[in-house]
Amino acid sequence: MKDFSYLRAASAEEASRAAQQAGAMLLAGGTTLLDLAKCGVTEPDTVVDITRLAGLDTINVGEGGLTIGALATMSAVADHPEVKTQFPAIAQSLSLAASAQLRNMATIGGNLLQRTRCAYFRDPQAFPACNKRAPGSGCSALGGVTRNHAVLGTSEKCIATYPGDLAVALVAFDAVVDLGTRQVPVDDFFLPYGEAPERETLLQPGEIIRGITVPASVAARQSVYLKVRDRQSYEFAAASAAVGLELEADGRTVSDIHVALGGVATKPWRALAVEQALIGKALDADLVRSASRLSMEGAVSHGDNAYKIELAPRVVARAILQLAPSLGDLA
């Protein structure tokens, strides 16, 4: 790890000013930044520690919804009693992520900005070609081992999966990122790869994520995060789904549904086609399964990751059916 200078910011303004300098990077939990610094992927000249900034670690559940400060830890949000009951998919997306130690360190702001686990991206020495790290250098994953790479939202420049869990639940429930001077829907905050895979979010140099708000809804209260992975714990998603469901009094007809996918796309992926196919319909298992397949519209396989195109819709369907107990053993 290249050496850097260390600055402990006393105010958000100081942090923002310092972070605008070339080579400066904000440091929160450090679980992405120091990991990638050790890989030689990020080489900051200055790290600006924002963990001592006051008032940015609050978690509030009120009438309007959920507000989380950027410095709240993953564990604090995952274990928050009202988040667990009012926004279960959000609590679960965090408690099923990383490990207890990492969740105690990692912050919500840093979590959104975690980088892809693409093995080629993480190993600059062995694989100099990576458009995300070095724009224009090519992509080592194309033609390589692509088991964990994305099937949705890819471009010919980059097929790296966005690995985070929380952001999937956030896009499902229309969360908004608070950047201090502007508010951006999480779905817009993450950019499609297209021509510039090195640019992953709307964040500008010096901009600091202050927090996140999630509107309250019946669907958010009746929600689940289902994560399928190669081992049962401490692993990124092979495919995951955040789903929220509100049914009419008959217990079958969908009045509101939210669906997003993780582990399969280059950004947290809202599946509007699935939602539209189910809204107003009386659920049955076959309908749920066929609608869930719409989540893979436009999916492209790169060989090793073809299984995701089969797996992801099943994860979506299972999550929806879990939320509709009246369908009984149809699930």
69 sits near ligand FAD (criterion: CB under 6 A): no
Provide the 8-state DSSP code for 282: B
Considering only residues 135 through 164, tell me which ones interact with ligand SF4, judged by CB under 6 A. Answer: 139-141, 158-160
**Nearest alpha-carbon partner for 221 in 274, 258, 193:** 258
User: Two tokens at 131?
Assistant: 């458009």
Residue 233 binds another protein, judged by CB under 8 A: yes
Cross-strand partners of 262: 240
Q: Does 72 bind another protein (CB under 8 A)?
A: no
- Is 261 a binding residue for ligand SF4 by CB under 6 A? The answer is no
DSSP label of 124: T
Q: Which residues pair with 36 in a beta bridge?
A: none
One of 134, 218, 234, 286 touching another protein (CB under 8 A): 234
- The angle, 0 to 180 degrees and rounded to 10, between the axes of the packed helices 306-322 and 285-293 is 140
1 touching another protein, by CB under 8 A: yes
CB of 162 to ligand SF4, least distance (A): 11
6 touches another protein (CB under 8 A): yes
313 CA to centre of own chain = 18
Sole binder of another protein in the list 30, 40, 135, 144 (CB under 8 A):
30
Choose from ligand SF4, another protein, ligand FAD, none: what does 41 bind? Cβ within 5-8 Å by kind: none
| CA angle at 225 for the pair 273 and 313, rounded to the nearest 5° | 40
What gap in Å lies between CA 39 and CA 33, rounded to an integer?
10
CA distances 291 to 102, 162, 174, 210, 320, Å, are 36, 24, 21, 37, 11
Binding piece for ligand FAD, criterion CB under 6 A, among 82-90, 140-148, 158-166, 282-290: 158-166
Contact positions vs ligand SF4 (CB under 6 A): 116, 118, 120-121, 130-132, 139-141, 158-160, 197
Binding-site ranges for another protein (CB under 8 A)? 1-6, 8, 27, 29-31, 34-35, 37-39, 47, 49, 51, 75, 98-102, 104-105, 232-234
